[in-house]
Every structure is written in C-alpha cells, then in structure tokens.
Amino acid sequence: MKENNLIKNYIKNNQLDIEEIIQNYTPYIYSIIRNKNSNISNEDIEEIISDVFLATWKNQEKLDVNKELSSYLAKIAKNLYNKKLRNTRNDIDIDDYINILFEEESIELKIENTEREHLIYMLVNNMKPEDKDIFTLYYYNSMTMKQISKILNITEKKIKSRLFRIRKKIRKHLDNGGV
C-alpha cells in the first residue's frame, strides 16, 4: 500500500487506475472483512471484495480526490459485509415458502382449469348445432353478437338469450360436477 494513499494518486488519464487499486488494496479489504467475521467463507469474502472495487469504479466521479482511498474502501467493505450478513440471515425467508405455496396452488389451479375446459368442451360438443356455433363464435372466436347475427342470420336478441341459457347449462353442469 502506498504511504500517501490519497485518491488523486490513483487517477490516470482522468480515471481511477482500478487495476492498481485492486493490486494494492485487496489484502487490506480481505483483512477488514476477515476481522469482522472469521467464519465467513472465502467465496463470500471474494464476492465482497469484487463488489467493493466495482462500487468504487462505478462511483469514481463522486469521490473527493483529496481523501484517503483506504478509508473510502474500508467503509464500502463494511457496508457490503453488513448487507451480505443481513442477506444470509434472511436466506430462509417466509416469502420463499409463500412463493412455493403459490406455485403449488397454481399447478392445482391449472389442473382444475384444464378439467373445467375439457368439461366445457364436451358440453359444447353435445349442444344443438346452432347453440354450438353461437357459443364457439362468441367465446372462442371473440366475435360480437352483431357479427354472429350476420353470419348465422338470427337476431342479436336471440343470440343474447341463447348465450344466457348456454352459460346457465354449463354452470349447472360444472356445479354438479364439483368444479
């Protein structure tokens, strides 16, 4: 480590010489982190060290060039260590369990929806041809009642009435089927 570790001594061509900083300060940051917790893994220490240098590089415009680089790096290292410590304490997070529950629920919902869709498909296939056409054009082809009335040559009022009855039948079958 340089005796005069002012930030301005590490600026070359109007940018921080990050390679020199890494070379000179890696052992320093390592010792800061290791002294805070001797049980921390080397992988975690390396990750924190990398993050310290990355943060320094990304924020180089904000640095006061007349300050000591070592105190700046030490502060970043301590903050990142504390953040890492908080994250490892929260590794077992209730949100993880909630997400798993939602995933399981969504699988069950998908199965139920598939069963419901299959039952509706079977019901539609057993309808009178005109009802089947109305239902299919309205729900599967997303046509308006006006468009359907032109295609099937029946009034919109009749289509509306038929759709109401069809939905009622389907709902009754679904309710009776336990879906």
Residue the block writes with tokens 């939602």: 102
Quick one: average pLDDT of 109-135?
Answer: 83
Convert the pLDDT of each residue in 87-106 to its tens digit: 665 544 445 444 544 455 56
pLDDT at 97: 44
Residue the block writes with tokens 């369990």: 97
Quick one: average pLDDT of 23-38?
Answer: 85
pLDDT at 94: 46
Q: Where are the domains of the chain?
A: 7-89, 114-176
Convert the pLDDT of each residue in 160-170 to its tens digit: 999 999 999 88
With beta carbons less than 8 A apart as the criterion, state whether 25 and 69 touch. yes
pLDDT of 143 > 80? The answer is yes
pLDDT at 156: 93
| Number of residues assigned to the chain | 179
Q: CATH top-level class for 114-176?
A: mainly alpha
CATH topology of domain 7-89: Rna Polymerase Sigma Factor; Chain: A (1.10.1740)
Higher pLDDT, 99 or 57: 57
Structure tokens at 77: 């290292």
Q: Band the pLDDT of 158: cuts 50, 70, 90.
A: very high
DSSP H or E run through 11: strand 11-12
pLDDT at 179: 57
State the chain's mean pLDDT as an integer: 80
